[in-house]
Chains A and B, each alone.
Chain A
Amino acid sequence: MEKLSSLTIILALFVTFSAGAQTSGKVVSTKTHIKFFSATPAENIEANNNTAVGTINKETGEVVFSVPMQGFEFEKALMQKHFNSDNFLDTKSFPKAKLIGKITNLDKVNFTKDGTYEAIVQGDMTIKGVTKPIDEKGTVVVKGNMVEVQSKFNLTLADYGITFVKGKPSSNIAKSVEVTIHSELQAQ
């Protein structure tokens, strides 16, 4: 009899922890695409990055994305060089940009039920060593153990101290760029 009750306890604990693991904890990105787009009368500029990594804590709503800046690819090689140069984003000194935020309407996002939810993320964006608050909306799609997030928002370059002192960039890049992020995340 004793053996049976111990086994039952162990089994019960095991089931509890397994069930807990499904809803709690972090999901980590398996693939992430970040694009930024700038429209100016002179020409449109677009860059794509497939090297970013992100996590979402389903319990606390914490969202973190780390973006390797040298992963941004432009169609024109010259534009890519300007982007990385110390006149502009100085990616050798500041190799990563980071978003640290929190889903503030976590009660509206149900990670345990398949569906599409609109999430509000508030937090900080750090680019070229400068940190500024952000408050943006995104879409969270839950499908089984996969979480897909998408968001589109604008960033004003001057806010991060990214200005143009000399050279071609000044007329070609809009003051505000449109950032699109698309990421698929799973429990590791």
Chain B
Amino acid sequence: MKRGKIIKSVIIIAVAGIIIAGAVGLYMFNMPHRNVQKANAVYNLTSSQIVTEYLTDKELANKKYLSGDGDSKVLKISGVVNRISEDFNGQKVVLLKGADDKAGVSASFTKETNPNAAKLKVGEAVTIKGVIRSGASFDKDLALYENVILEKSDVATK
């Protein structure tokens, strides 16, 4: 009788374990993407400041802003709108760039946040929140300055 009870308990625990493991596995597999706009911005700076940081020491800046799993830092960048364009996904792309700066911050919006980008005008001062994908640098092969790239952006309400 006692042995029977023990076996029964072990089976129940084992089955429970398998169900929990399965649930965790299923959650991981269907894990949602991080909601960038709901996350807190880790750094708040101007487009000039982050561009200067990158042009001064790219390696150091990448260590600071990029994450190994791709969920890099969420930033709030303030600057002046230099250009508004659109990518192949119909997402608005807003370039913030200081008049004397060699590069700027290019922020791609989403289908949901596009209307806020559409309200912006060239020359306007604005703060944008988004996740960084890559930093600014002078690329000798392109012979161009590359901008800091943000995605999943929206106009930040201070």
Contact = CB atoms under 8 A, between A and B. Distances in A.
Interface residues of B, number: 35
A84 B86 contact: no
Interface string B99-115: 00000001010000000
B89 A66 contact: no
Contact of B144 (A55, A98, A182): A55
B88 A182 contact: yes
B72 interface: yes
Contacts of A70: 66, 70, 72, 133-134
A13 B143 CA distance: 27
A8 interface: no
B70 A83 contact: yes
B149 interface: yes
B144 A28 contact: yes
Contact of A68 (B67, B85, B149): B149
Contact of A31 (B30, B66, B86, B135): B86
B154 interface: no
Interface in A104-155: none
Q: Pick the 3 closest A-B CB pairs, nearest first.
A: A84-B70, A68-B134, A33-B88
17 contacts: A31-B88, A33-B87, A50-B87, A50-B88, A51-B108, A68-B133, A68-B149, A71-B151, A76-B30, A76-B31, A78-B29, A81-B70, A84-B68, A85-B69, A91-B70, A92-B67, A100-B141
